[in-house]
Amino acid sequence: AHGTARNGPGTGGQHERHTAQDEGKGGHQDRAQAELGTINRCLEKGGALFVAGRQRIIHDDARFVGNVGFRQNEQTFDALRLRTRPVDGYVLDYSWGWQVNRTPGRASPAGTEDARLHLLRVSGPFLGATLTGFGWWTDFRETLAPLSGRTLGLRLSGSGTALPPRGNDPEV
């Protein structure tokens, strides 16, 4: 059993005791209980990282693939993930996911989304900056089905010293 005691403004100085046996009874709000049975395992060997189960997957600035970390409940993915450094300075990150656990939580109809996700990201040095190539193949099966698709892209980040300064471009 667990309990809380309230004593402060608006409570009239009264103490309220709340136990697990009170869940679902009138006058008491149901409390979220930790779920059992989720798997989250990690294996790291020889510079490769393998994670299976419920996990955060964050790519770059988390704009498109991320944990929505500013929310109280983070978004997680049920997935298999491999992250390795095949060549010095380069990173290969691949995830295959089957469920997105969204911020509203399981109690909400929008809390989980059945999906088939392939998330690929390769990054490495380029002209003094970091060049990242990515591909996101998303097949959502429920509420988010209209947002399914394929996204391919490149991202250049950092301050590359080998690039000419802006404004020195030849005039056309």
Other Cβ atoms less than 10 A from the Cβ of 119: the count is: 22
Hey, is 145 helix, strand or coil? helix
Helix (H) or strand (E) holding 126: strand 112-126
Lowest-confidence range among 91-95, 118-122, 133-137, 168-172?
A: 168-172
Please measure the distance between the N-terminal and C-terminal CA atoms of the chain and give it in whole angstroms. 76
Cα–Cα distance, 41 to 30 (Å, whole number):
30
Could you read off the pLDDT of 29-38 as tens digits, one per residue? Answer: 444 444 555 6
Q: Which residues, in sequence order, are CB contacts of 157 under 8 Å at separation 6+?
A: 60, 129, 130, 132
Could you read off the pLDDT of 71-117 as tens digits, one per residue? Answer: 767 888 889 999 999 988 999 999 999 888 887 777 776 677 888 99
- Name the pairing type of β-strands 149-157 and 40-45: unpaired
The answer to pTM > 0.85 is no
Q: Does the pLDDT at position 15 exceed 60? A: no
Hey, is 21 helix, strand or coil? helix
